[in-house]
Structure 1
Amino acid sequence: MAAQPGMGVVVENFDADSAEDVALLKKTVYRDKIAVLRGLDLDVPGFLALGRRFGTPEAYYEPAYHHPEHREVFVSANVEENGRRIGVPKTGRFWHSDYQFMPRPFDLTLTSPRVVPARNRGTLFIDLARAYEALSPELKRQVEGSTATHTVRRYFKIRPGDVFRPLGELVAEVDAKTPPVTAPTVYEHPHTGERVLYISEGFTESMHDADGRSRPDLLRELLAATGQLDDEPSEVPVHLQTFEAGDVLVWDNRALVHRAVHTDTPEPAVSWRVTVHDRAAA
């Protein structure tokens, strides 16, 4: 396993059928945050089977994102397959942790790039454990005992069948399927013991301090301090992870926020994703 500058490792000759390789890789991901498995080139059943070796996958709540034969596989694609659209285009163009709006955080994300654009490709990552450590003593004091509320409202993608529906009706449906979730702003990572600042520009809607007061000012300051507001400088490094078709990326979804890099021109792009609960954390 070769270390990359700043974050992550590249793994050659990974054996997806080896319990020893899977256990070692899981430890490596929790330590180094990202692993790139070179040249696995798995089919959909093989990719899902690999995800199950790391934990328990859960299907995304919106069926439009499902692979037609394996609902636990999330598909991001801007091309048609056999004359029909599979998945949803241009997903993840904002800072987020996968499924942060769900009641129980997911531990690991696996992605398999299938069609990779020639330009402007990759995924950006920020380590929110490192970001918390970099906060000033005053910001750490203000965050202690606070809570953050997460919701999918802001980046919910309008479906073809939603045309002409009243906005209030649509918002009510979104809240019924995925009610806003409130959790501690900082929590202890169950696998590493690190303190993680669990907020994102995409899904964190509001924040309240230890006395229950709404703190939009504090939320914005934390997002800026962690590098999630593009128009403001940050001391926290942003890591660009590149990949090739056939690779598999595995990352620590509890510690990282990420944002996809998309081209401004319509280059073909297809990727699969499986997000899992690590059974060791149950």
Structure 2
Amino acid sequence: MAQALKIRRVAGALGAEISGVNLGQELSDGVITALRQALVQHQVIFFRDQQMTPAQQVAFGARFGPLNIHPYVAGMAGQPEIMEIIKEPQDKVNFGGGWHSDMSFLERPAIGSILYALEIPEYGGDTLFASQAAAYDALSPGLKQTLATLSAVHSASREYSAAGQSTQKRSSMSVAEADGMVGEYVHPLVLTHPESGRKALYVNPAFTLRIEGWSKRESKALLDFLFEHSRYEAFTCRFAWAKGSVAFWDNRSVWHFALNDYPGQRRHMRRVTVDPWPEGAGAAAERVSEAAL
């Protein structure tokens, strides 16, 4: 089955479209390993013409790690691991409408997100992706050396505050405001991918507050530079959705941006988010995946 997979790169920096697999079926360990390899290599992988029930999407996502239940967005009734991302025709603001990676505000951030399209607008609604590994590679040796010594503070406090983009009212989504102290977690500014060994920038316009040990004012110039640099067009690819399309991206090395360019139309997606295995658990599976790279 793994040999039947066809992988076609879609851009120079990241992205590949995969055919020859039905994600709604129970897949062999070999196919899962091949898909994980493709994800690590290409950073975001795309599939067309898929049909998945909520239970099938959960089952597929769980092959890659435990699934996240979002702390601020209500999940599907009876299937809390699934986030229904819906923009109704009357809604003005979409969900995910800005450059970011998912869940960096957690102590152990999510490793990947799997988004499935059920209903798309007649036009618009594409998603952009940006390789943070390519962004890192393009930096000067001197800046790389400096960044290697720095970490940044991440929190949900801004994005999920009353004024945050994610908490704006939507007709078909229930999003809660972060209540009080939601926690601040420190992550290196440069991550070494645990499976590929490739380095990537790890900053997040939605959730990075400041550089650890620096004031917000002191942090602003460097973070603004990195935010601008990280979305340079040469580091990106663009995915045009169709009903049944799936995108699976690696949050450890990828930003994404859901375009809000389809006023008066409905867009309905379902997302599951893959967390890292608990310490010790899943280590054998990760070693198998790493050995195959």
Q: TM-score range by the shorter chain?
A: 0.7 to 0.9
Output the CA distance in 2 between the equivalents of 1:258 and 1:248. Answer: 14
Match of 2:52 among 42, 46, 49: 42
Structure 2 residue matching 1:154: 3-state secondary structure: coil
Q: Deviations over 1:156-191 (max 9, x none)?
A: 14477xxxxxxxxx66x242xx31211111121111
Match of 1:69 among 65, 78, 82: 78
Q: Which amino acid in the other structure matches residue 186 of structure 1?
A: V
Match of 1:198 among 191, 197, 202: 202
Shift of 1:35: 1.4
Aligned residue runs from structure 1 range 1-282, under 5 A = 1-6=7-12, 7-16=14-23, 17-19=26-28, 20-62=30-72, 64-79=73-88, 90-156=94-160, 157-158=166-167, 173-175=179-181, 178-208=182-212, 214-227=218-231, 234=232, 236-279=234-277, 280=282
Shift of 1:243: 2.2
* CA RMSD across the alignment: 2.5
Structure 2 residue matching 1:155: 3-state secondary structure: coil
For normalisation by structure 2, the TM-score amounts to: 0.79
Shift of 1:235: 6.6
Shift of 1:264: 4.9
Output the CA distance in 2 between the equivalents of 1:75 and 1:101. Answer: 20
Rate the CA distance shift 1:159–1:201 in 2: closer, same or farther, 3 A: closer
Output the CA distance in 2 between the equivalents of 1:267 and 1:198. Answer: 34
Structure 1 residue matching 2:62: 3-state secondary structure: helix
- Count of paired positions: 255
Rate the CA distance shift 1:195–1:174 in 2: closer, same or farther, 3 A: farther
C-alpha contact 1:143 1:209 (8 A) present in aligned 2: no
C-alpha contact 2:191 2:252 (8 A) present in aligned 1: no
Structure 2 residue matching 1:196: 3-state secondary structure: strand
Shift of 1:197: 0.8
C-alpha contact 2:109 2:276 (8 A) present in aligned 1: no
Output the CA distance in 2 between the equivalents of 1:159 and 1:49. Answer: 31
Output the CA distance in 2 between the equivalents of 1:136 and 1:35. Answer: 29
Shift of 1:13: 2.6
Which region of structure 1 is more displaced relative to structure 2, 39-48 or 235-244?
Answer: 235-244
Output the CA distance in 1 between the equivalents of 2:180 and 2:32. Answer: 36
Q: Which amino acid in the other structure matches residue 242 of structure 2?
A: E
Output the CA distance in 2 between the equivalents of 1:146 and 1:278. Answer: 23
Q: Which amino acid in the other structure matches residue 8 of structure 1?
A: G
Shift of 1:93: 0.7
Output the CA distance in 2 between the equivalents of 1:74 and 1:174. Answer: 23
C-alpha contact 1:135 1:225 (8 A) present in aligned 2: no
Which region of structure 1 is more displaced relative to structure 2, 189-198 or 262-271?
Answer: 262-271
Identity of counterpart residues, as a percentage?
24
Q: Deviations over 1:124-143 (max 9, x none)?
A: 11111111110122322321
C-alpha contact 2:125 2:262 (8 A) present in aligned 1: no
C-alpha contact 1:187 1:195 (8 A) present in aligned 2: yes
Shift of 1:216: 2.0
C-alpha contact 2:105 2:185 (8 A) present in aligned 1: yes
Rate the CA distance shift 1:135–1:39 in 2: closer, same or farther, 3 A: same
Structure 2 residue matching 1:49: 3-state secondary structure: helix
Output the CA distance in 1 between the equivalents of 2:20 and 2:237. Answer: 24
Q: Which amino acid in the other structure matches residue 100 of structure 1?
A: S
